[in-house]
Amino acid sequence: MNRQIFSVLMILNVCAFIKSEVIEIDDGKLEGTVLKTRKGLDVYAFMNIPFAEPPIGRLRFHSPIPNRKWNGILNAKQFGPACMQNNDGPDESVSENCLQLNVFTKELNSINLKPTIVYIHGGGYVAGSAVGYLPSYLLDRDIVLVTINYRLGPFGFLATGTKDAYGNMGLKDQVLALKWVRKNIAHFGGNPDQVTISGLSAGSFSVTAQMGSVMSQGLFHRAIAMSGAITWQTGLDRDNMNLVKQVAKRLSCPINVDDMIPCLQTKSAKDIIQAGSRSYYGCLVMPWLPVVEQDFGQERFFTADPNKLFKSGKFNRVPVIVGITTDEFISPVVPLLNNKESLELLNNKFSEIASNCFYFRGNGIISTDEIAELLRKHYLPYDKIDKTSFNSLHHLCADGSIGYAVHRFAHYASPFTDVYYYKFSYSERFSNFLYPRNKPYGIHHGDDNMYVLSTHYDPEIKESDPENFMVERMTRIWEQFSKYGNPNKRNDEFLADLNWPKLDKTSEYFLDNGKHMVEKQGLYLERYHMWDSLDKSLMYSEKDESNEEIMIKIIKKDSDYNFVLSSNNSKIYNYRSLP
């Protein structure tokens, strides 16, 4: 969060005092304010509402505890702080005491309850917040909007694999926020039995994670996952002790678990964030991730790897919209190709950075280095990697970080629930990536989100702007889906040509959402086939005597590790069937 953003928020907070509205919920009274939508409709805004006790002191690194009731009237006119993260703005713009949410609605205590959309922000689990997301687009539709904070970095995801720090605190924060919504949202005109969870990037990881957790069962009824899925090809670990020990050493804490956590609980939040930061040659590294919790008698967010849960149908089976943008992450390619050290590593020591940059790992049968070699042959077949490799390296970065995990999630989930799969391919004047002449270069990660939720740093799209139709289209799709679990709607000028079939493995339908909405088949299957083949080479499924699915490693049979080049020109690695 930079100083410019902070200044905008201060202006917003000052303006929030012009009008006010008081409402009473079970926890006490709230005084909110009134904002305007893009079309001039009044919106009641209640911000900085606590849903948990401050996770500080002995509560640091532990599951959240519901907040206590307050006396008097709580000032809910202003956004609260973001959760702790690296920050170049004033210290007060971030805080450990950050577990608050914001509610935006056009009607209070309404008889006709509206569908509720809960938005989970992105930021790689180390950055971002609910601060600054405004209702000016979505609240022109017939919905209630909730945006939430959750703990980030080591505060949200430090996991020792012991009872001292189970992990997944940030995801459990989200669960508690959803419980708050179920309990309280009717006071704001929202329907607790018609809740849609939505999110971008790490928010999308979180949406799919909530689908895979028994902790959130019954707390939501639809899901919208934009550019991210928890079904990563790396799987999830049971702890992140390597990272935790690095943090402990940097802060002069013992590295034995019994003494480590009590010591870290005494350190300043700012020091912990700095000690837990990690960069890697310009790549998009997500060091702090969810884990599969070991059982110490606690309520566990994940009891097994999400890939196994979704593949076997053991998840919250709600209708889901899920997809990617045409180009996803292009921006990391620029520093990789323009940095001398990174370029040298790409050419001479590709395997040293490949698993971190493109998110994969080997096992006892196929090593990480061998997988790196296969990926390089598939995406970067020429001897030298340089600026002419831009598009090829971009495809590898996009598929490894986002695309393939979303593909796998969609195909795991579709046999068990309705999946509406998409590619967002619209570009006009705006993008999250401007290159090389300060103009949009492709359709980048997050470009679809700017037509749904307005923020203080996104361009304001007016009804007279050429992009207006996309705001109308996207918000109407979200409204329709949040009401009925199906995005298709007739007799609507902005959705009249929408014919969005559900994903089916036989036909491979997806919606290409660009200047026009076009039903297509086979989203990047030629690229993802290599990952599918690699996935099969690492493990396959059988049934044991107890009829439980288990994963059995394939035995390496020959020097090419069961991979052969296909006979067509796409140079895809195909999996050789077992005899």
Query: What value does the mean pLDDT take over residues 364-386?
Result: 87
Of 108-122, 169-183, 530-544, least confident by mean pLDDT is 530-544
At 308 the pLDDT is: 94
Query: What value does the mean pLDDT take over residues 69-90?
Result: 90
**Per-residue tokens: 293:** 């919790």
At 75 the pLDDT is: 97
Q: C-alpha 16: how far from its chain's center?
A: 30
At 281 the pLDDT is: 55
Decide if 378 is catalytic: no
Catalytic residue among 95, 201, 216, 533: 201
Confidence label for 3 from pLDDT (cuts 50, 70 and 90): very low
Residue 275 pLDDT more than 80?
A: yes
What is the per-residue pLDDT across 490-500, written as a single tens digit (0 to 9) for each? 788 888 778 89
Q: How many CA atoms lie within 13 A of 502 on its CB side?
A: 13
Alpha helix ranges (H) inside 234-287: 241-250, 257-264, 269-275
Residue found by looking up tokens 């902790």 in the block? 215
Peptide bond into 436 cis (omega under 30): yes
At 325 the pLDDT is: 96
More confident position, 380 or 575 = 380
Of 116-125, 217-226, 310-319, 349-358, least confident by mean pLDDT is 349-358
At 428 the pLDDT is: 85
**What one-character DSSP code corresponds to residue 559?**
T
Residue found by looking up tokens 């992140």 in the block? 240
At 560 the pLDDT is: 33
Catalytic residue among 187, 445, 454, 479: 445
More confident position, 142 or 542 = 142
What is the per-residue pLDDT across 279-338, written as a single tens digit (0 to 9) for each? 555 576 788 999 999 999 999 999 999 999 999 999 999 999 999 999 998 888 888 888
Decide if 201 is catalytic: yes
Ramachandran angles phi, psi of 176, nearest 5°: -65, -35
pTM of the model: 0.89
Give the integer Cα–Cα distance in Å for 13 and 102.
13
Decide if 456 is catalytic: no
Catalytic residue among 63, 121, 187, 328: 328
At 454 the pLDDT is: 80
Highest mean pLDDT among 65-79, 88-102, 443-457: 65-79
Average per-residue pLDDT for the chain: 86
Give the rounded percent of residues in the chain with a pLDDT score beyond 70. Answer: 87
Give the rounded percent of residues in the chain with a pLDDT score beyond 90. Answer: 66
At 332 the pLDDT is: 84
**Per-residue tokens: 428:** 């006009």
Contacts of 473 (CB under 8 A, 6+ apart): 451, 494, 495, 513, 517
At 556 the pLDDT is: 32
